[in-house]
């Protein structure tokens, strides 16, 4: 093996390690962002108690992306304003963990899917799919071109 092919092999390995490292960091950030977004909804938690201290914080688009701080049975939580569809100050709620079904004053209500959490989960997966769909075929096509020998 010549010195130039050994150097090219080292460069190729370094490039592969870099791409894998960036991929791992990217996946970790996607997972962290998704987990954080889902934790800011009422869906993962279980609650049993009276709703108190509802405070709405307006963000960039009032009424659309507001955050709500509230207390349920003494447990402080922050969620999107879409959770208020099912409850109001003084309501008694019961909810199992990882369920969208909430019992409010004995009546069942279904929490809407949280738009922000869905967006933070779905959009990165779609982007990865597009990169794989268009990136892999280009790479394999480029590497599968016939090699011409200069033996004359």
- Structure confidence by residue, pLDDT tens digits, 131-145: 777 766 555 555 555
pLDDT at residue 152 above 50? no
Biggest CA–CA distance in the chain, Å, is 90
Show the tokens assigned to 29. 């950030």
Averaged pLDDT for residues 113-134: 76
Q: Residue 92: which H helix or E strand, with range?
A: strand 92-95
Residue 56 forms beta bridges with which residues? Answer: 68
Residue 94 forms beta bridges with which residues? Answer: 48, 103
- Structure confidence by residue, pLDDT tens digits, 15-28: 788 878 887 888 88
Cα–chain-centroid distance for residue 70? 23
More confident residue, 8 or 11: 11
Look up residue 69 and give its DSSP letter. E
- What is the C-alpha end-to-end distance of the chain, expressed in Å? 22
């Amino acid at each position: 093996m010549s010195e130039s092919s050994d150097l090219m092999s080292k460069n190729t390995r370094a490039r592969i390690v870099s791409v894998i490292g960036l991929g791992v960091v990217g996946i970790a950030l996607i997972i962290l962002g998704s987990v954080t977004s889902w934790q800011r909804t009422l869906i993962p938690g279980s609650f049993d108690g009276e709703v108190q201290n509802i405070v709405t914080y307006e963000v960039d688009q009032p009424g659309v992306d507001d955050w709500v701080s509230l207390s349920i049975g003494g447990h402080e939580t922050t969620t999107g304003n879409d959770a208020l569809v099912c409850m109001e100050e003084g309501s008694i709620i019961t909810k199992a963990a990882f369920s969208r079904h909430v019992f409010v004053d004995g009546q069942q209500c279904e929490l809407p899917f949280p738009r922000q959490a869905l967006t933070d989960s779905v959009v990165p997966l779609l982007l990865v799919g597009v990169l794989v769909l268009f990136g892999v075929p280009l790479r394999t096509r480029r590497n599968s071109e016939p090699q011409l020998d200069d033996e004359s």
